[in-house]
Structure 1
Amino acid sequence: MSIERWVFGYGSLMWRPGFAFQERQPATLHGRRRAFCIYSVHHRGTYERPGLVLGLAPGGAVRGAAYRIAEADWPEVYAYLREREQPTETYVEGAANIRLADGRRVETLVFFSDVHHPQWAGALSLERQADLIAGAKGLSGRNVEYLRDLIEHLREEGVRDHAMEALLGMVEARELAAE
């Protein structure tokens, strides 16, 4: 009997996994929530002007996507994910039980936020998040585009995240005022 390998994504892995998979299912992880809780000093900001990227903060629940990986593909997918998700070690890999949309419960690989890492921003107010995201830019582009992509792709998944939508409105207002 082969072991089922699953990966859970709650941000860009939902719409840009970058690896081969056999099955994709909407899924929910309980006990964590999607949050802009990690300072970005490379991809969406700089050391001088950090931005914010998503992480899994304690509490709540998060809807995302789970991918079932073929056993033969697992070594390559796992290596790719470690390189993608841990370049600055702001995320730590772990296992979590999630519920798939079809009712199955499976164990997945998840990249959790390292709350002890210097880039851990913690629980910031929406106002502080907006201040950091507005105007921030890094190697992967403007921080506000990351937020827009998130909201657009969540909507495509049938997920309305009112806090993220409110945050986008605040960021856009700050960027408009700065022009």
Structure 2
Amino acid sequence: MNRFGLNHVNPIFAPEPHPAAAPKSFRLLTEAERHASMLDALAGWTADEDVWVYGYGSLIWRPEFDFAEQRTALLHGYHRALCLWSRVNRGTPDQPGLVFGLDIGGSCRGMAYRIPAGDVPSTMEALWRREMPSGAYIPRWLNCRTEHGVVSALAFTMNRNTDAYVRGLPTERLISIVRNAHGSYGPCIEYVLETARALKQSNIQDKRLQALVRDLRDSLADGL
């Protein structure tokens, strides 16, 4: 048993080939697997330590947790990409949407949040339920550069060894997916546009996302 009252069991995610199309079947993590993943990530944490969390997508405009401090943060080695099939939050198994993941390569400017030590257990429980319904993300501690120095922040990076990973979609298909998918959290297009708006409000430049938003708005204006 550990401080969270659970046996510490490491979940195993079997690598699967990268699909050409979104699979209609997928496996959600069990409650025990999700908790084990959280405990693995927090293995080095002590109860008197604040925790930094790195946001690059919806965590920027809807963090859904209290934080003591917020900083713009630059992360090297990963970039923001619509590389994750969403079959729960922004889509369904029959009509999956796309959400952002931190994919390998380049850099990403996002937001770092400092969670007070006393709030860490409850915040992480809620965060894992939101971000880790499946094994599509790999939680990692990554160094992020902020205006007040480097912080080690928890970031949800893309797990390329799952059938949730996708890349290289033609622009026309990507736009069609974003426009038509809808999940338990709402429309996929809302997710993309809200992320773009939040980045702009935070003075964060993302040229790929800005180009996608222009293409989306052109397609809407053309009635395509």
Instruction: Confirm or deny a common fold (TM above 0.5).
Output: yes
Q: Is the Cα–Cα contact under 8 Å of residues 28 and 99 in structure 1 kept in the other structure?
A: yes
SS of the aligned residue for 1:72 comes to helix
Question: Whole-Å Cα distance in 2 between the matches of residues 43 and 177 of structure 1?
Answer: 28
Q: Is the Cα–Cα contact under 8 Å of residues 81 and 100 in structure 2 kept in the other structure?
A: yes
Deviations 1:99-144 (A, max 9, x none): 1122x11111111111111111134343442232122222222211
Q: Is the Cα–Cα contact under 8 Å of residues 87 and 95 in structure 2 kept in the other structure?
A: yes
Q: How many residues align?
A: 178
Q: Which residue does 2:69 correspond to in 1? A: 23
Question: Whole-Å Cα distance in 2 between the matches of residues 128 and 29 of structure 1?
Answer: 29
- Structure 2 segments unaligned to the other structure (5+ residues): 1-45
Runs (4 or more) in structure 1 with deviation over 4 Å come to 175-179
The one of 58, 64, 89 equivalent to 2:135 is: 89
Q: Is the Cα–Cα contact under 8 Å of residues 129 and 167 in structure 1 kept in the other structure?
A: no
SS of the aligned residue for 1:115 comes to coil
Q: Is the Cα–Cα contact under 8 Å of residues 37 and 124 in structure 1 kept in the other structure?
A: no
Q: Which residue does 2:84 correspond to in 1? A: 38
CA drift at 1:22? 1.1
SS of the aligned residue for 1:73 comes to helix
Q: Which residue does 1:147 correspond to in 2? A: 192
Question: Whole-Å Cα distance in 1 between the matches of residues 141 and 170 of structure 2?
Answer: 29
CA drift at 1:178? 5.0
Instruction: Tell me the C-alpha RMSD between the 2 structures.
Output: 1.9
Q: Is structure 2 residue 108 aligned with structure 1 residue 59?
A: no
Deviations 1:56-96 (A, max 9, x none): 11111111111111111111111111111101221121111
CA drift at 1:36? 0.3
Question: Whole-Å Cα distance in 2 between the matches of residues 60 and 127 of structure 1?
Answer: 24
Evaluate the alpha carbon distance shift between residue 49 and residue 177 of structure 1 in structure 2; reply closer, same or farther with a 3 A threshold.
Answer: farther
The one of 189, 204, 207 equivalent to 1:159 is: 204
Q: Which residue does 1:130 correspond to in 2? A: 175
What is the percent sequence identity of the aligned residues? 35
Q: Is the Cα–Cα contact under 8 Å of residues 5 and 70 in structure 1 kept in the other structure?
A: yes
The one of 50, 53, 57 equivalent to 1:7 is: 53
- Structure 1 segments unaligned to the other structure (5+ residues): none
- TM-score, length-normalised on structure 2? 0.73
Question: Whole-Å Cα distance in 2 between the matches of residues 129 and 55 of structure 1?
Answer: 15
The one of 128, 141, 166 equivalent to 1:121 is: 166
Q: Is the Cα–Cα contact under 8 Å of residues 115 and 122 in structure 1 kept in the other structure?
A: no
